Chains A and B, each alone.
Chain A
Amino acid sequence: MLPTPLVKCDYDKIYEPSEDSFLLLDALEKEQGYLVEKFNGLVLVCEFGPGSGIVTTFMIQNRIPVGLNSVYLAVDVSPWAVEATLETAKLNNCDKGTVLDTVQGNLGTGLRKNQVDVLLFNPPYVPAEEVPEVPESKDDYKWLDLALDGGEDGMVVTQKVLDNLDSILSKNGVAYILFCARNHPEQVAEEMRLKGWKIDLVEHRKAGWEVLSVYRFSRN
C-alpha cells in the first residue's frame, strides 16, 4: 500500500477526504503500471475539483505516473480549494521540487485543447435539485455545496466533462472519474462507448449505503 497524504483543512469550506477520495487513490495505485506503460515524455496530470488536494498530493508523493517527467495542474472553482491543495502539498513536502500549479477555474474551460494526459475527477456526484451557483464572495458558506451537489442524477457536472472529454484529453490521454450508483455509471459508460470511447471499471466498493466506482476513459 502506498502512503496516503496527511490532510488538515477547514471542513466547513473544503470537502473532507472520504471513502470516495480513498477509492480514487486505490484505483490510481492499481493503475500505476498501466500509466507508466502508456506514457513516455512529459505527462500533464490534471485534477478537476481537487478540494483538499489529497489526490493530486498522492500522485506527487508517489511519483505517479512517471516521477520526474510529470507536471501537475489542479483546477477548482473554489478559492478555498485551490489554497487547500497547495497547503496539503506543502504539508506532505510535495510543494518543493515539484512542478505543481493550482488554477481557480471551471473544469476545462480555461485549459488549452487536447493537453491533459491524465485527468482525475472526483465530481460533485450527489443527486440534488440543482448544481449550486458559484458564490460571488469568498466568504460565502456555500462553497462546500459545490463540491457535493451534482444536479439531476448527480450527473450534471460529470456530464459536462464527458461531453468535452475529446477536447480536454491529449491524443493518448486518459481520464479517471468517480461515480456513485445513483449516477447509473454503467448506462453512462455505454453511452460513451457508443461515441467511440473505451471504458474500463478500475475499482468499485460498497461504502455504507453507497456503491462507488472509478472508471477509466480512454480512446480506442
Chain B
Amino acid sequence: MKFLTTNFLKCSVSACDNSNDNFPLSFDGSKCELIQDTTIEFNPEFIMNVIDRVDWDAIVLVAQELGNNSLPAAKPVLGSVEGLTEDDMAVLRDLHLLFIQTSIKEGEMKCRNCGHIYYIKNGIPNLLLPPHLA
C-alpha cells in the first residue's frame, strides 16, 4: 500500500463516522515494514496535484508515525510548473519519494477513535470488520 493511500482510508466502523478521529488511521512504525518502488517516474506536475489534493495534517502525522519527521507543518506553496525553482524541485522529489515510492508492505493501523486494528499484509490493507462490528 502506497503511502499516499493512507490519506484515503478511514476506520470502517460506522459509529466512528461521527468522530473526527477515524482519519487518518494511526500507524505503529515499529510494526510496519516499508519498501521502495522505484518504477514510477518522477513527475513534478503530478506531485503538485497530489499536494493540492491531500489532507496535509494527516500526511505529516502518518509520516511522523512511520519515522519521517522532515515534513513542514504547513502545505508547501509552489507556483506554476513552469516557474519551479531548484528548491521547489527538491521538495517535489522528496514528496515523490514519500507519497508514491514508499509502500507499506506489512504492518498495522489503528483507529484513533475506537482502537480497532487493521492489518496490512503483502501490501494489501484489510479494512473488513469482524461480523460483530460490521
Q: Which residues of A are at the interface with B, using a C-beta cutoff of 8 A? A: 41-42, 44, 68-69, 71, 73, 77, 79, 82-83, 86, 96-99, 101-106, 109-113, 115, 133-134
Contacts and interface: CB of A to CB of B under 8 A. Distances in A.
B8 A134 contact: no
Nearest to A106: B128
Contacts of B10: 110-113
Given A96-B39, A106-B134, A112 B49 contact: no
Nearest to A170: B53
Contacts of A96: 39-40
A42 B11 contact: no
Interface of B: 1-2, 4-5, 7-12, 14, 17, 23, 39-41, 43, 45-46, 49-50, 52-53, 55, 100, 118, 123-129, 131, 134
Contacts of B49: 41-42, 69
A99 B129 CA distance: 26
A104 B8 contact: no
Contacts of A109: 12, 14, 127, 129
A146 to B, nearest CB: 12
A79 B119 CA distance: 13
B50 A42 contact: yes
A71 B50 CA distance: 10
A43 B113 CA distance: 29
Give the 9 A-B CB pairs with smallest separation, nearest first: A110-B127, A105-B127, A96-B39, A42-B49, A110-B12, A109-B12, A104-B126, A42-B53, A101-B5
B2 A99 contact: yes
A100 B41 CA distance: 14
A34 B126 CA distance: 33
B8 A111 contact: yes
Contacts of A42: 46, 49-50, 52-53
A71 B5 CA distance: 9
A44 B12 contact: no
Residue among A105, A106, A112, A133 with max Cβ neighbours from chain B (10 Å): A112
A30 B110 CA distance: 41
B106 to A, nearest CB: 15
A133 B73 CA distance: 44
Contacts of A44: 8, 53
A72 to B, nearest CB: 10
A11 to B, nearest CB: 21
Given A41-B49, A42-B49, A98-B40, A77 B128 contact: yes
Contacts of A101: 1-2, 5, 123
